[in-house]
């Protein structure tokens, strides 16, 4: 029996939808960003943007960048949050997981700092959900031979058969 009204997500849609779910854990009050690192259709790590372990976050303290009127994409060092891409990469190191050759799914395009980390971890491909202000990653990825593409997920609902 074939059910014609049901759309089974492709692997890329599946992992991108998971990245959006991971983003819901964010403690940033400006942007919720999520990342999932995958190899051979197997999830290796996830990450979202938020304060370092044991450090008070913006949900509790308010956004320092908003208080100082710092524009998005500028002065990353002022932010309490570690970026989603960074957290996903750090989880690999913390748990001894080799992420080289993997694909990263991220809800937003990376800043140049995250792009440099992605290059150095030898992630081979990144699939992005939305475009962020900083476009410097493109030149770096082209130079490093990292494939990048966009996959916008318009339906983030979970569909189930009852």
Nearest to 92 by CA among 56, 123, 125: 123
CA distance 106 to 18: 9
- CA 133 – CA 135 distance, rounded (Å): 6
Active-site residue identified among 13, 77, 85, 125: 85
Q: How many CA atoms lie less than 13 Å away from 51 in the CB half-sphere?
A: 15
Task: State yes or no: is 85 an active-site residue.
Answer: yes
Rounded to 5°, angle at Cα 132 from 118 and 144: 30
Helix (H) or strand (E) holding 13: helix 11-23
Q: In what order do the strands lie in the sheet with 103-108?
A: 42-48, 34-39, 103-108, 125-130, 147-150
For the annotated catalytic residues, the residue numbers are 85
């Amino acid at each position: 029996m074939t059910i014609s009204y049901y759309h089974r997500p492709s692997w890329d849609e599946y992992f991108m939808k998971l990245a959006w779910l991971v983003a819901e854990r964010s403690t940033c009050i400006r942007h919720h960003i999520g990342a999932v690192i995958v190899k051979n259709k197997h999830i290796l790590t996830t990450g979202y943007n938020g304060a370092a372990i044991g450090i008070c976050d913006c949900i509790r303290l308010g956004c320092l960048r908003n208080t100082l009127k710092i524009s998005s994409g500028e002065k990353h060092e002022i932010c309490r949050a570690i970026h989603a891409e960074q957290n996903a990469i750090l989880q690999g190191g913390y748990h001894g997981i080799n992420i080289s050759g993997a694909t990263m799914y991220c809800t937003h395009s990376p800043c140049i700092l995250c792009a440099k980390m992605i290059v150095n971890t030898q992630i081979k491909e990144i699939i992005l959900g939305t475009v962020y202000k900083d476009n410097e990653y493109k030149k770096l990825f082209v130079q490093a031979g990292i494939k990048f593409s966009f996959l916008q997920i318009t339906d983030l609902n979970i569909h189930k058969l009852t």
